[in-house]
Amino acid sequence: MSVTVTLNPSGHTFVVEAGETILESALRSGLAPEYGCANGSCGECKARVVSGELSEIRFHDYVIGEADKRMGYTLLCSATAVEDTVIEVLEAARPEDIPVQTVRARVHGLDRIRDDLLIVNLRVQRGRILRFLAGQHVQLTLKGLAPKKLPVASCHCDGLNLQFHLRRDSDDAFSAHVFERLKTSDKLGVEGPWGTFTLQVDNERPIIFFACDTAFAPIKSIIEHAINLELSQKMHLYWCVPGDSPPYMHNYCRSLTDALDNFSYHAVAGVSTSGEVGAKRVIADHPDLRDFDIYLAGPDEFIGPGSRTFLDGGLPAERLFQYSADTRGPEPTRE
């Protein structure tokens, strides 16, 4: 039997399935409550039950004081809801709500899509799970190499498993190591998150996602976030790629079209550097951009012409959100 949990003060609601902790179900639903380890050790997911009944289903090392128990505090990572429940909890609504973290991860899988294209799947080591918002990026570190800045391609609903898309770059030592020497179970450092390229969850306007090649990664993360939130507005993905071959996750995108009534997907082949060509394709399909939000991701040489074409086509500047795949250098520490 499933029950409904409401979070205060946001008013967000979600369904808790049998055997799920409240934290698991909240993250699965696309929400971002405060938490740290997700295994009952740190206490950062401690929250107050306003009404309803909970049951502990997971052991936890963190000790909740008697005073907090009397006030109704519990650990979201260890408890499930027995009946419809209201809980008072802090949630991350903006990128600045999430602190910069450093975690350790192991390579869980390497999917070689082509000789020059790799999908890296990492699993964060137990003890600390990475908190981030869909669309943000992190720094990956390997011993002896400069950090590599990459967007997370997976949704923040699972901070234990992280996905990254990497194109081979002969001038980049990190890329060379990953393609030539990285293997399953190797350890990496992960620091972050950074970036403001995140879903504007309070907007109900239709969305156009416009990506170039591997800059599809942050777009994929945001799309999965939108799906978990069960957004009802129309979403249109335009994925521009060089050459005549379809995008490297073509079947994944087609499966979303088949599964979702409000999602459409368009592969735009033969577009490598300038976003103008792809943007004109979008405008041909949607001549009136005034009611859209557009999320644009790619290298600077793609973003510049693409954004100008959208703005010249009538898109209000405040409804254009951009991620540059050319972001380089170490990130400053955020207090």
Residue 299: pLDDT band by 50, 70, 90 thresholds? very high
pLDDT of residue 327: 61
Average pLDDT over every residue of 15-28: 93
Task: Average the pLDDT over 176-180 and give the result.
Answer: 96
Q: Which of 134-143, 207-216, 226-235, 268-277 has the lowest mean pLDDT?
A: 268-277
> Average of pLDDT values for 246-273?
93
* pLDDT for position 329: 47
Judged against a pLDDT cut of 70, whether residue 284 lies above it is answered with: yes
What pLDDT shows up at residue 335? 45
- Residues 104 and 187: beta-carbon distance below 8 Å: yes
Which numeric CATH code is attached to 3-88? Answer: 3.10.20.30
* Three-state SS letters, the chain: CCEEEEEECCCCEEEECCCCCHHHHHHHCCCCECCCCCCCCCCCCEEEEEECCEEECCCCCCCCCHHHHHCCEEECCCEEECCCEEEECCECCCHHHCCCEEEEEEEEEEEEEECCEEEEEEEECCCCCCCCCCCCEEEEECCCCCCEEEECCCCCCCCCEEEEEEECCCCCHHHHHHHHCCCCCCEEEEEEEECCCCCCCCCCCCEEEEEEHHHHHHHHHHHHHHHHCCCCCCEEEEEEECCCCCCCCHHHHHHHHHHCCCEEEEEEECCCCCHHHHHHHHHHHCCCCCCCEEEEEECHHHHHHHHHHHHHCCCCHHHEEEEECCCCCCCCCCC
Q: Which two tokens stand for residue 181?
A: 């020497």
Determine how β-strand 161-167 pairs with β-strand 117-124. Answer: antiparallel
- CB environment 62-73: b (16+ within 10 A), e (fewer): beeeeeeeeeeb
Query: Residue 143: exposed, middle, or buried by beta-carbon count in 10 A (0-12, 13-18, 19+)?
Result: exposed
Mean pLDDT check: name the lowest of 39-43, 205-209, 235-239: 39-43
> What pTM value is reported for the model?
0.91
Q: What is the pLDDT of residue 270?
A: 81
Q: Is the pLDDT of residue 197 over 80?
A: yes
Give the fold, CATH level 3, of 96-194: Elongation Factor Tu (Ef-tu); domain 3 (2.40.30)
In the structure encoding, which two tokens stand for residue 105, read together?
């991860």
Give the per-residue pLDDT at 285: 97
Cβ-in-10-Å burial (0-12, 13-18, 19+) of 329 comes to: exposed
- 58-77 pLDDT tens trace: 889 899 999 999 999 999 99
Indicate the average pLDDT of the chain.
92
Per-residue model confidence as pLDDT tens digits over 34-62: 998 888 889 999 999 999 999 999 889 89
CATH class of 207-324: alpha beta
Domains of the chain, residue spans: 3-88, 96-194, 207-324
| Neighbouring C-alpha atoms within 13 Å toward the C-beta of 299 | 10
11-24: buried (b, 16+ CB within 10 Å) or exposed (e) per residue? ebebebeeebbbbb
